[in-house]
């Protein structure tokens, strides 16, 4: 029988379910996320002997917990900063190109998945070079119902490059558009 994988065994924090990340580490991850976003270069860096796929994969593993914490805290400023200006984003509402086309739609998504009383978890995350694949779901903390779920692939050229291609399948069960009181909770740039 195939042995189950702990997808977080080599990562700084485990976001496979709620309650696994200490408060102090959450703060450190947000600080680290802000630093990582600041490393993104204007021109997508080339893959070279010095900046190879192994290095990029390691940076993506370092980035991953910061991304999860930014989503849980509704840090849309960080989440937008993770994207390249020429982002290509394929999803059922898309395709979107650049940072403006998906902005209003993602604001609603972030507000729903980061709302009080809901916890987003990522039970599966896999890395290969500049590719990061993950599955996520949002659980109502009171009823344990899944309010949304999806799977995503990011093509991310490490800290220096950021995400230039994102593909996503997402399903919202309870709401599709967030009410204004939830939209106000998302920090935007």
- Give the pLDDT band (50/70/90) at residue 185: confident
Which CATH number does the domain housing residue 117 bear? 3.10.450.50
pLDDT in tens, 167-181: 999 888 877 778 788
Whether 17 maps to a domain, the answer reads no
Whether 142 maps to a domain, the answer reads yes
Whether 118 maps to a domain, the answer reads yes
- Total count of domains within the chain: 1
Max Cα distance, the chain (Å)? 51
Say if residue 64's pLDDT is above 80.
yes
Whether 143 maps to a domain, the answer reads yes
What local confidence, expressed as pLDDT, does residue 133 receive?
98
H-helix or E-strand spanning residue 109: helix 103-113
Whether 11 maps to a domain, the answer reads no
Q: CA separation (Å) from 88 to 84, 85, 100, 164, 167?
A: 9, 9, 11, 6, 8
Among residues 183, 179, 157, which one has the least CA distance to residue 53? 157
pLDDT in tens, 87-114: 999 998 879 999 888 888 888 888 888 8
**Domain region containing 165:** 23-183
Under 8 Å between Cβ of 91 and 165: no
Say if residue 74's pLDDT is above 90.
yes
What local confidence, expressed as pLDDT, does residue 37 receive?
98
% pLDDT > 90, the chain:
76
- Tell me the mean pLDDT in the region 145-157: 96
Whether 18 maps to a domain, the answer reads no
Averaged pLDDT of the chain: 93
Distance separating alpha carbons of residues 48 and 29, to the nearest angstrom: 28
Say if residue 70's pLDDT is above 80.
yes
Model pTM above 0.85 = yes
CA dihedral (138, 125, 156, 148) in degrees, to 10, reads -20
- Give the pLDDT band (50/70/90) at residue 4: confident
What local confidence, expressed as pLDDT, does residue 137 receive?
97
Under 8 Å between Cβ of 78 and 34: yes
């Amino acid at each position: 029988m195939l042995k189950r994988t702990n997808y977080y065994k080599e990562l700084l924090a485990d976001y496979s379910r709620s309650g696994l990340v200490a408060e102090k580490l959450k703060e450190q991850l947000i600080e680290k996320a802000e630093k990582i976003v600041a490393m993104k270069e204007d021109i997508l860096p080339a893959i070279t002997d010095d900046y190879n796929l192994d290095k990029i994969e390691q940076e993506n593993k370092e980035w991953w917990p910061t991304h999860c914490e930014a989503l849980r805290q509704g840090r849309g400023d960080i989440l937008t900063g993770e994207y390249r200006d020429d982002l290509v984003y394929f999803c059922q509402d898309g395709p979107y190109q650049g940072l403006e086309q998906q902005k209003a739609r993602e604001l609603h998504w972030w507000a729903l998945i980061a709302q009080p009383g809901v916890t987003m978890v990522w039970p599966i995350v896999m890395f290969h070079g500049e590719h990061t694949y993950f599955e996520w779901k949002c659980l109502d903390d009171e009823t344990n119902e899944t309010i949304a779920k999806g799977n995503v692939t990011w093509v991310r050229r490490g800290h220096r490059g950021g995400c230039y291609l994102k593909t996503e399948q997402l399903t919202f069960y309870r709401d599709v558009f967030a009410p204004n009181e939830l939209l106000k909770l998302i920090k935007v740039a």
